[in-house]
Amino acid sequence: MKTKNKKITKKNREIMLITWMFTLLFLGLAGYITYYSVTHQQELMSNSYNGRQQILIAKNTRGRILAADGSVLAQTILDSEGNEKREYPYQNLFSHVVGYATNGRMGVEAQANYYLIHSNAPLSQKAALDVSGEKYPGDDVYTTLDVNLQEVASKALGVYQGAVVVTEPDTGKVLAMVSKPDFNPEQIADIWDDLIQDDESSILLNRASQGLYPPGSTFKIVMALEYIRENPDTYQNYHYTCNGSITREESRIQCYHGSVHGAVDFQRSFAKSCNTSFANIGLSLNRDEFGKTLNALLFNEKLPVAFQSNISRVEVSDETIDSDMMQVSIGQGTTSITPLLLNMITCAIANQGILMKPYLIDYVQNSAENKVKTFEPDRYGKLMEENEAEALKGLMIDVVEEGTASKLKGLSYTAAGKTGSAEYGTVKGESHAWFTGFAPAEDPEVCVTVIIEGAGAGGDYAVPIAKRIFDAYFGT
Amino acid sequence: MELYVSEFSKYVIALLITLYTYECFAVFRYDEEEQRNGIYTRQNLLMFALHFSCFLVICFETGDITYLFFYAFQQIVLYAVIVLYRMLYPGSNRLVVNNMCMLLAIGFCILTRLDMNKAIKQFIIASGSLVIALVIPFFIHKFKFLKKLKWVYVLVGIAALSVVMILGQTTYGSKLSYSIAGITFQPSEFVKILFVFYVASALYESSGFFEVFTTAVAAGAHVIVLVISKDLGSALIFFIVYVLMVFVATKNYFYLLAGILGGSGAAYIAYRVFTHVQVRVQAWRDPWSVIDSAGYQITQSLFAISSGGWFGLGLCKGTPEAIPFVEADFIFSAIAEEFGILFAVCLILICVSCFIMFMNISVRLNDKFYQLTAFGLGVTYIFQVFLTIGGGTKFIPLTGVTLPFISYGGSSVLTTLVMFAVIEGLYMIRLDEKEQMRLARVEKAKKKKKRSAPKRRLQRISEAAWEENEGTDTEYPAGDMIEDEE
């Protein structure tokens, strides 16, 4: 029998070939359909052209959004007339991060829309609701957010415009994310017209993940990393004498507020945030290699996060001229960064060089409190070597011990960080106050990034806010 | 209650189709139809269970019990087909009949759910077509002059297509059909079969350059008429079927290569010349940027496919009617949405099993005309399936052809039924060939016995020499092809 089959196939090799070809083609097609439908399910469901969304909304009550401790951040209730109303118990507090679900969607409301409009309630409950003619309860989304930290951060920012990001470096959990000015998501429909007409303060922008700012002196973290990378054995021998300014190609860089730092080494240049010394360091770098380092640090690309974020920009290559290079070295010029990316780089330093992807949604559960979906901490990769991270950590500890962030010195925990005062606009002297850092330095648990728009020096304005958040975290 | 039925039935239906699909491939483990009987019976049971489950869900979901009457009619017709084929053609291939009925049943279910009126119309046409198709195996089996009619096939084919080109009704930019006495025909469907017969009859005796050239001219005429009518999907089917049939007839890889290169060139020219081709390609590459216009259908189809998950939303639970022309061009997407991806993949595999069975029959036919016909029809079928499923899922650009047996469309159902019936006829021809060979061998054995001993030894030596030469020879004496099977 076998030989017979062999003979037949041998004689009709061409037909067999075509048969195999089509069979493989269809296996490919089936594989493609399966892969496509599974990987695009959520994305396609949220497309506004997809009418299925409306059907689910009509069938299920939108699920709740909760903080890590179970506090309700958003829920749908029925008003006295029996109409559905989305309620945000903390009003303005989570306006950007939790977002809103009418007039478009934003924040977790947008990111978790798929889960919120689906219902995995038990069949028995659904059957009972069918009988009483009620809607099914949508699934609840538990976030990683901490109400206390969010409150402290928001209060600390006060009336300033700016943003705060608080994360766990070893997991990537976002504990707090504040953007000011804020708004009350319950009133979004009423204030919508005002909000979108007001392009001055751009209230709807989540400054924490979408705001693009000049990094100022916080960029010296990146500069220091590249210098250590290019001079791994000799960087500690670096010496420079600061006269308060440095000039190349008719371009002049000054130290902040006209300071003159005198003789500085590498560690002191960083701790005192000496602009002239870092311009000097920047000029010595291999610009091609530096460009690669910047891209590896997630500049010029979409961040690996599931929520809305903007792309931070800085371009350095062989073609970068000296005057531009000096501007880049102190985080000015065309360089821009989101508080989120600065926080991620800081987290990588705190976590032995490994970046965990920041995430906001911890798990989703149905009305019977069974978990439908759990999001585990997800490693992005190594942003820098462990010894590089250790060296940067040492520099950042010195910033607290003897540098610009001394307001964090002598506390029950040891903090590490870097300040920045990023000049913006045309008026000389106006600057955004930055701080990014973590604590405890020995075994970092929490990472805080603060920006206050137009406040002044980072050490004076941003560091105290970071301190209040650290205090709240460590319960002191 | 209704909720439990629809949730539970989702998994039952998925299980039934998975088992059925498994059996579709399990048949290829056995060479003889008799050994496969158990499988076929199981398939019939699974099919009836699935068909019943679907209609039960529809009744529960709509709260309308009258659907069960419609189901009863369908069940009677499908059961009758299975029984009649067995009675009239005891030697028929039951996998082909089973798959035919299974695909029709799935089509009835999803059409009933989408549009009851169209489902009834489809059911009536399918029933009539089944009766017509029932006599076809007999004709194929008995009428040996079919291979002599090559001029009839080509002239009727081109004439039918030309009439549409000149007089046809324009549906959505393409001239596809014309009406006689209130019945709308889409001739490109029927002409596919004539075309396969034409190429087979032109190439079976000799497939030298002259024959290839003349058939190329005829094939080109078909394709050009279809392209002018803007029926690009059918044009593509004719082209591929022609190239592959020439390749199999000549066993010449040059023709395959030339066909592929020529086809690519023609496709490129078509892309540059025709704006509606450009629109289709654009809608395939990035439908999202033209979601309001050319990309609307395909994006709605993708929404449907991605919304079902593994087990689907359940019959009547989705919104496949959001896709324009869902019942014809995008029926697969509706199935994926409501029956789920698992079911959709099984459906693809059932179609592939039909194709493999066609090829299996083709390979075993000794008569080259019948072999080419079986091959050509198999390729026509499977390539059409590929175009419609691939087009609806953004795997390839959309061409707008129907999914055989499942899509709404009378011409399509009739044509596919005839196609499957022809295959049944060819299958019986193969059984005849086998029987003749067995008789020939018996004759030979008898003769051998009569021969004297020394002569017999000589015979054996010459036979051995023959065996050795076999590897290099392409033509065998008929008697050697089939060996002991029983």
pLDDT tens digits for B289-343? 888 888 888 999 999 999 888 998 888 888 888 888 888 889 999 999 999 999 9
Distance, in Å, from the CA atom of B122 to the CA atom of A46, rounded to the nearest integer, reads: 35
Cβ contacts of A11 on chain B, cutoff 8 Å:
474, 476
Q: Could you tell me if residue B52 is inside a domain? A: no
Please tell me if residue B379 touches chain A, with a CB cutoff of 8 Å. yes
- pTM for the whole structure: 0.78
CB contact under 8 A, B386 and A22: yes
Residue tagged 């939303």 (tokens): B313
Most B CBs within 10 Å, among A2, A17, A25, A50, to test the B interface: A50
Residue B371 inside a domain? The answer is no
Q: Angle at CA A205, nearest 5°, toward A202 and A209? A: 145
Q: Which residue of B has its CA nearest to A52?
A: B319
Q: What are phi and psi of B370, to 5 degrees?
A: -70, -35
Mutation pick from B306, B321, B371, B434 vs chain A, by most beta carbons of A within 10 Å, is: B306
Would residue B298 count as lying in a domain? Answer: no
Judge whether B37 lies within some domain. no
Contact B57, B113 (CB under 8 A): no
Query: In this structure, how many other beta carbons lie within 10 angstroms of the beta carbon of residue A290?
Result: 25
Q: For the sheet with A174-180, list strands across it.
A: A174-180, A162-167, A446-452, A431-439, A416-423
Peptide bond into B90 cis (omega under 30): no
Would you say how long chain B is, in residues?
Answer: 486
Residues of A in contact with B374 (CB under 8 A): none
For residue B436, what are its two tokens? 């003749």
B window 323-352, beta carbon within 8 A of A: 336, 341, 344-345, 348-349, 351-352
- In this structure, the number of other CB atoms found within 10 A of the CB of residue A48 comes to 8
Which chain A residue lies closest to B342 (C-alpha atoms)? A34
Q: Are strands A60-61 and A136-137 parallel, antiparallel or unpaired?
A: parallel
For B290, which residue in chain A has the nearest alpha carbon?
A49
**Which two structure tokens, joined as six digits, stand for A202?**
């751009």
Structural domains of chain B, count: 1
CB atoms within 10 A of CB A460: 15
For B445, the domain range is 435-481
* CA–CA dist A312, A214 (Å, integer): 10
Where helices occur in A46-103 by DSSP H, the ranges are: 52-59
Task: Using the CB atoms, write b or e for A421-442: b if 16+ within 10 Å.
Answer: bbbeeeeeeebbbbbbbbbbbe
Residue B442 domain flag: yes
The verdict on residue B467 lying in a domain is yes
pLDDT tens over chain A, length 476 residues: 456 666 766 778 889 999 999 999 999 999 999 999 888 888 888 787 888 888 888 889 999 999 999 999 999 988 888 888 899 999 999 999 999 988 788 899 999 999 999 999 888 888 888 888 889 999 999 999 999 999 999 999 988 999 999 999 999 999 999 998 899 998 888 888 777 776 666 888 899 999 999 998 899 999 999 999 999 888 989 989 988 888 887 788 888 877 888 899 999 899 888 989 999 999 999 999 999 999 999 999 999 999 999 999 998 888 888 888 888 898 888 899 999 999 999 999 999 999 999 999 999 999 999 999 999 999 999 999 999 999 999 999 999 988 888 899 888 899 999 998 888 766 666 889 999 999 999 999 999 999 999 888 877 889 999 999 999 999 87
- Across the interface, whether the CB atoms of A37 and B2 are under 8 A apart is answered no
Helix, strand or coil for residue B429? helix
Across the interface, do B4 and A14 touch by the CB < 8 Å criterion?
Answer: no
Residues A111 and A197: their CA atoms lie apart, in Å, by: 25
**Are A41 and B395 an interchain contact pair (Cβ–Cβ within 8 Å)?**
no
- Measured CA to CA, the distance from residue B133 to residue B422 in angstroms comes to 8
Banded model confidence at residue B5, pLDDT cuts 50, 70, 90:
confident
Distance CA B69, CA B114 (A): 17
3-state secondary structure of B168: coil
CA–CA dist A314, A249 (Å, integer) = 21
Q: Write the CA distances from A36 to A33, A380, B307, B336, integer angstroms.
A: 5, 24, 11, 12
Query: What is the pLDDT confidence band of residue B178, given thresholds at 50, 70 and 90?
Result: low
d(CA A378, CA A237): 38
* Radius of gyration for chain A, computed over Cα atoms and rounded to the nearest angstrom: 27
End-to-end CA distance of chain B: 54
Determine the Cα–Cα distance for residues B7 and A130; give it in Å rounded to an integer: 14
Centre a 10 Å sphere on the Cβ of residue B45 and count the other Cβ atoms it contains.
12
Residues facing residue A60 across a β-bridge? A136
For B24-66, the pLDDT digits (tens) are 999 888 877 788 888 999 999 999 999 999 999 999 888 888 8
B368-414 pLDDT, tens digit each: 999 999 999 999 999 999 999 999 999 999 888 899 999 998 889 99
By CA distance, what is B312's nearest residue in A? A37
- Other CB atoms closer than 10 Å to residue B42's CB: what's the count? 16
3-state class of B233 per DSSP? helix
More confident call, B470 vs A389: A389
Domains in chain A, please, with CATH?
Answer: 216-359+377-474 (3.40.710.10)
The answer to whether residue B134 is domain-embedded is no
- The C-alpha atoms of residue B447 and residue B456 are separated, in whole angstroms, by 10
Q: Give a yes or no: residue B444 inside a domain.
A: yes
Q: Within a 10 A sphere around the Cβ of B40, how many other Cβ atoms?
A: 18
Q: How many CA atoms lie within 13 A of A263 on its CB side?
A: 2
Q: What was the pLDDT predicted at B483?
A: 38
